[in-house]
Amino acid sequence: MLIDRVHYNRYGTKESIVSPKPFGFQGDVIFSQNADGKTFTVRKDFIFITKSGKIIKIKDGFVTDLASIPSIFWTILPPFGTYTDPAIVHDWLYNHKGILNTTQGEYPPLTLIKSECDNIFLEGMIDTNTSIWKRDILYTGVKFGGYIAWHKKRPVVMIAPSNYSIAKLI
């Protein structure tokens, strides 16, 4: 949280006016399980802002498998946890092969390479306080195991450049 300013309330007690954090997840991530029992659908748009200012908007209706962890490892790393929200962002980026663009097309596309998408996943896990050992395993998994998923043919993601107002996206 960022403290914008301090003021005194009606009782003379000092209070801080808090701004939302300038990066990380903005708003709630809401999704539901699909009938197949293996995939989930995002039920409300949400935004993730990277520390470098990239604004990534995940759209309502996006289908994900959450964290793509082989079922043999689910006892120690199930497909959901503190890393669920970052996994959805990562799936979105991979699904759109890192080609990012605004809905209206008023900005030229921004293209992220695979390693940048993987780093955004890591940044998201840090934002959601995923434990270091889980972050290391999951990040290593996408870094080395995401090659096949990355090279599938995909369409385009919506994103706004860092100087674009969040209010215009929501």
Nearest Cα neighbor of 96 from 157, 47, 161 is: 157
Measured between alpha carbons, how far is residue 75 from residues 71, 128, 167 in Å? Answer: 8, 21, 41
Mean of the per-residue pLDDT values of the chain: 78
Flag whether pLDDT at 61 surpasses 70: yes
Flag whether pLDDT at 16 surpasses 60: no
The model's pLDDT over 71-121, given as tens digits with 9 standing for 90+, comes to 898 899 998 899 999 999 999 998 888 777 555 554 446 678 899 999 999
- Give the best-scoring range by mean pLDDT among 33-42, 130-139, 143-152: 130-139
Distance (Å, rounded) from C-alpha 150 to C-alpha 96?
9
Distance (Å, rounded) from C-alpha 87 to C-alpha 81?
10
Q: Look at 15 and 159; give whichever has higher pLDDT.
A: 15
Residues 28/34, Cβ–Cβ less than 8 Å: no
What local confidence, expressed as pLDDT, does residue 13 receive? 62
Distance (Å, rounded) from C-alpha 58 to C-alpha 88?
8
What local confidence, expressed as pLDDT, does residue 56 receive? 85
| Crossing angle of helices 84-95 and 114-127, rounded to 10° | 160
